Amino acid sequence: MFLKETKLKGCFILQPKIFEDSRGYFFESFNQQKFNESIGLNINFIQDNESFSVKGTLRGLHYQKGEFAQAKLVRVIKGKVLDIAVDIRKNSPTFGEHISLELSEDNKQQLFIPRGFAHGFVVLSNTAIFSYKCDNFYNKESEGGIIYNDKSLNIDWKLEESELIFSEKDLELPCFKEARF
């Protein structure tokens, strides 16, 4: 597994070693010991989630607060998404900055997003199956979010506004300056 830290401290791009031959391919998608050694932390993932979405579906930007904050390891099993992580750690030198990364079934990259980040993605392919591991259980009372088109974040979602599909809940999220972290 090849690991590269992004400009946001603690966020890592993981590229597995892929073994291909005439039959297809094989790769180790997760190994707890190798993962923890590589990032230098002891992360214990306790929940796996998966979503299926159609092109243009934008999910996010979401986060969990306080004792229910979550670190996530995300990847795409089928299709292609643009994945976004926003640093919401108030004491971080990159507070309010974001990274974007295309995750796909072809590149098989994964993104580790530590606690203290908002996260979202938009589906770029006709459909996508998105998978993520979490190190803490979801708690509805601790959820928070930031509206996808916040002007101060200036995120390029790579699709036209008319192509985007949202949940009503995501359209009611506050702007970055009004969000409670």
Amino acid in the structure at residue 136: N
Tokens of 121: 């993605």
Choose, from 25, 62, 63, 138, the residue flagged as catalytic. 62
Tokens of 103: 């995750």
Tokens of 167: 């949940």
Catalytic annotation on 119? Answer: no
Choose, from 63, 98, 119, 132, the residue flagged as catalytic. 132
Report the candidate in 20, 38, 51, 27 with the shortest Cα–Cα distance to residue 112. Answer: 38
Using an 8 Å Cβ cutoff, are 56 and 167 in contact? Answer: no
Catalytic annotation on 63? Answer: no
Enclosing H/E stretch for 2: strand 2-5
Active-site positions read 62, 132
